Amino acid sequence: MTVDEIKNGVVIDHIKAGQAMEIYKFLGLDKFDCTVAIIKNAQSRRMGKKDIIKIDSDVVPDLSVLGYIDHNLTVNIIKDGANVSKYHPELPLEIVDIVKCKNPRCITSTEQELSHVFKLTDREHSVYRCIYCESKAKN
């Protein structure tokens, strides 16, 4: 299978096999008017199988959520057909409206206009807790 190279945009590589659609939804790529290629179960020497997402657009989506999803991903920024930047996303210190608090006693259950905010409380184990009730986020 051949997928064309992109001129300007982002390539998200080393996604765990089967997670590409979840990342697609988290990034809100369905709202972008651009070409997006999702490659599932590509062969990988390091991982066995992996997914890849290619976003061909001058407008780059907010990639900060990627650290929460999987900080072992590789993000490549492409300009004029060349890879100009390559990095692994870091765990964000705070995530807002990415996941919802599941605690039925949390104030976010009754106050619908409140943002769902989680703070990183344990970097080693990637634990995020709700700032209102301290419930652990499910990742």
- Pair (19, 62) in one structural domain: yes
Domain annotation covers residue 136: no
Domain annotation covers residue 1: no
- Pair (18, 71) in one structural domain: yes
Convert the pLDDT of each residue in 36-65 to its tens digit: 999 999 998 888 999 999 999 888 888 888
What count of other Cβ atoms lies within 10 Å of the Cβ of residue 44? Answer: 14
Q: Residue 116: which domain range?
A: 94-130
- Rounded to two decimals, what is the model's pTM? 0.81
Domain count, the chain: 2
For the segment 15-22, the average pLDDT, to the nearest whole number, is 92
Domain annotation covers residue 2: no
Domain annotation covers residue 99: yes
CATH number of the domain residue 75 falls in:
3.30.70.140
Contacts for 103 with CB less than 8 Å, ≥ 6 apart: 109, 130, 133, 135
Cα separation, 21 vs 38, in Å, equals: 8
